[in-house]
Amino acid sequence: MAATSQNLSTLSSSSSTLSLKTKTLPKPSFLPLPRPRRSTPLLAAHNNPISDVVLSKTPRHDDDDKPREECGVVGIYGDPEASRLCYLALHALQHRGQEGAGIVTVNNNVLQSVTGVGLVSDVFNETKLDQLPGNLAIGHVRYSTAGQSMLKNVQPFVASYRLGSVGVAHNGNLVNYRTLRTKLEENGSIFNTTSDTEVVLHLIATSKHTPFILRIIDACEKIEGAYSIVFVTEDKLVAVRDPHGFRPLVMGRRANGAVVFASETCALDLIEATYEREVYPGEVIVVDRDGVQSLCLMSHPQPRQCVFEHIYFALPNSVVYGRSVYESRRHFGEILATESPVDCDVVIAVPDSGVVAALGYAAKAGVPFQQGLIRSHYVGRTFIEPSQKIRDFGVKLKLSPVRAVLEGKRVVVVDDSIVRGTTSSKIVRLLKEAGAKEVHMRIASPPIIGSCYYGVDTPSSEELISNRMSVEEIREFIGSDSLAFLPFDSLKRYLGNDSPNFCYACFSGIYPVEPRELKVKRVGDFVDDGLNGSLESIDGGWVQANRNLKEVKVGGT
């Protein structure tokens, strides 16, 4: 998976610098590391002591029936307004995590951190951003997987060790986290959170290698799974992507030369940074006063990029894995119209993630697209239910049918996915109660039959309706007049030559990296998020891995 010990010990003192003036760059080769410069150890200034804990109950309502991307990251080097640009970029990535946000900057050799629970706009204001001067910053938005959302688990994390301090923001999930944590604790490490990201910090601190970059490579040798990470030290911004490239990470540059990393290109667009390229799978990029250096020190097998970024997670205006998300979703809708046609009067979408696919379906079918469902953008995660139960209250609070569009019509409704099926059944009922003559569901993804272990919050496989029922049984369960999913083979045909580069585990149940220890969210589980109890207290959220899982074949089958 990563560099060998021999590679680490034989690096020479020369260095190579990549020019970022053009958008097309060669893939990095094995490049030696520069010798470290002696510098003053960096102090860490925290604004998130252990006692500063905010509890926020976030019960899952059955209308909130979508997979959740667990976080987004940003890194900025070389701009005097780094913290404010980071703040804006996190706004653009807010869809990737809504329960916590944080920014770390470097000023006068001190890492300064502000983190908080809530939306980016809840956590930061002018006063807090004034506390984060400097031209070097990283940021993070977080979606917690279960239980309570704790301030101490909100990233970026900052830690001090004998050679200085380091800040880290991580998007992904380590499949060998529990094993690594147990080993580190046996050797004396003390953990402050339940986040797998903290393991990376401990591996860096306990590494015997110097300089700092070699410690990162050493840590990456030991971790398995999905990780797109940005690190910050007193004088460096470092971006790392796992060898399979599960989660996205892109690089751009502002007009003043500042280098920017982000989970999606929509963040670059907001802060007027020009997209240059992706961080390659297995690549380590170092940005400091010497420029930008690309170090490909980890072996990179066949990439396994998360296909669900194009189906649901990313914003339509982003470019992910070199492809327009908007174009992908529009084409998925066209495929559904071609391969699963039905006589209808109007095409509508489940907003917001189904809109682009619905536009593609309507255009291909030659049927008008209209807004048959209006989404409320003012509903928070928690609300007060009426004492007398109102049927489908949660869905009605978020989605309102438009009777003028629906009444007496044969309606095709396009959604991005079906997970448990509970939301889809309520939407069908809402549409029929609003007068729809027929409701035909079209889903712009293949059936989801497997849980994700690479940084996406999904239910356990027994809760996934497509893992338990046939398409016809699902149709009966949700009450629609017809139901069709995006055919798996058609999805791969659309991706063409890039098809072998994607991870399809949620559709196939075949995992590129064997999830030997699995943390899966189950309905009703209470998972401690760092304040009380030990790892054993979250045993209900761990399931035994299938030891018969095999490496996914080229093509994803």
Whether 121 and 256 share a structural domain: yes
**pLDDT tens, residue by residue, 87-97:** 999 999 999 99
Enter the tokens of residue 90: 């996190």
Cis peptide before 156 (omega within 30 of 0): yes
The rounded distance, in Å, linking the Cα atoms of 353 and 328 is: 12
Whether 402 and 296 share a structural domain: no
Cβ-count burial of 135 within 10 angstroms (0-12 exposed, 13-18 middle, 19+ buried)? middle
Which one of the listed residues 71, 86, 296, 344 is annotated catalytic?
71
Residue 218, in any domain of the structure: yes
Residue 507 or 2, more confident: 507
Residue 51, in any domain of the structure: no
71 in active site: yes
What string of DSSP letters covers 41-88? PPEEE-S--TT-----B-PPPTT--S-EE-EEEEEEES-TTHHHHHHH
Residue 524, in any domain of the structure: no
Of the residues 274, 289, 311, the one at which a domain ends: 311
Residue 517, in any domain of the structure: no
Residue among 128, 129, 198, 189 at smallest CA distance from 157? 198
Enter the tokens of residue 507: 């559709």
**86 pLDDT above the threshold of 50:** yes
CB 461 within 8 A of CB 518: no
Q: What angle do CA 356, 420, 378 make, to 5 degrees?
A: 55
Whether 337 and 450 share a structural domain: yes
Whether 300 and 371 share a structural domain: no
With a CB cutoff of 8 Å and minimum separation 6, the contacts of 371 are: 348, 351, 402, 405
Confidence label for 385 from pLDDT (cuts 50, 70 and 90):
low
With a CB cutoff of 8 Å and minimum separation 6, the contacts of 33 are: 11, 15, 211, 213, 214, 295
Q: Is 266 annotated as a binding residue?
A: no
Whether 264 and 361 share a structural domain: no
b/e code 41-62 from CB counts within 10 Å (16+ = b): ebebebbbeeeebeeeebebbe
CATH number at residue 80: 3.60.20.10
Amino acid sitting at position 480: S
Q: Is 353 annotated as a binding residue?
A: yes
Strands 164-174 and 157-161: antiparallel
CATH number at residue 410: 3.40.50.2020
Domain of 121 in residue numbering reads as 68-311
Say what the pLDDT of residue 295 is.
86
Residue 185, in any domain of the structure: yes
Residue 47, in any domain of the structure: no
Predicted structure pTM score: 0.79
**pLDDT tens, residue by residue, 530-547:** 222 333 333 333 333 333
Whether 281 and 328 share a structural domain: no
Q: For the chain, percent helix, then strand, then coil, each to nearest 5?
A: 30, 25, 45
Range in 20-34, 157-171, 445-459 the model is least confident about: 20-34
Torsion, Cα 191 193 194 199, to 10 degrees, reads: -50
**42 pLDDT above the threshold of 70:** no
Whether 418 and 295 share a structural domain: no
With a CB cutoff of 8 Å and minimum separation 6, the contacts of 337 are: 360, 361, 362, 364, 365
Whether 232 and 307 share a structural domain: yes
Q: Which stretches within 207-306 are classed as H helix?
A: 212-222, 265-270
Residue 25, in any domain of the structure: no
Q: What is the mean pLDDT of the chain?
A: 80
Whether 253 and 302 share a structural domain: yes
Whether 442 and 490 share a structural domain: yes
Q: Is 343 annotated as a binding residue?
A: no
Which stretch, 27-31, 345-349, 396-400, 540-544, has highest mean pLDDT? 345-349
Confidence label for 153 from pLDDT (cuts 50, 70 and 90):
confident
Q: Is 306 annotated as a binding residue?
A: yes
Whether 471 and 495 share a structural domain: yes
Number of independent structural domains in the chain: 2
Residue 43, in any domain of the structure: no
Whether 330 and 426 share a structural domain: yes
The rounded distance, in Å, linking the Cα atoms of 545 and 557 is: 20
Mean per-residue pLDDT, 513-521: 60
Q: Is 506 annotated as a binding residue?
A: yes
Confidence label for 427 from pLDDT (cuts 50, 70 and 90):
very high
Of the residues 465, 485, 507, the one at which a domain ends: 507
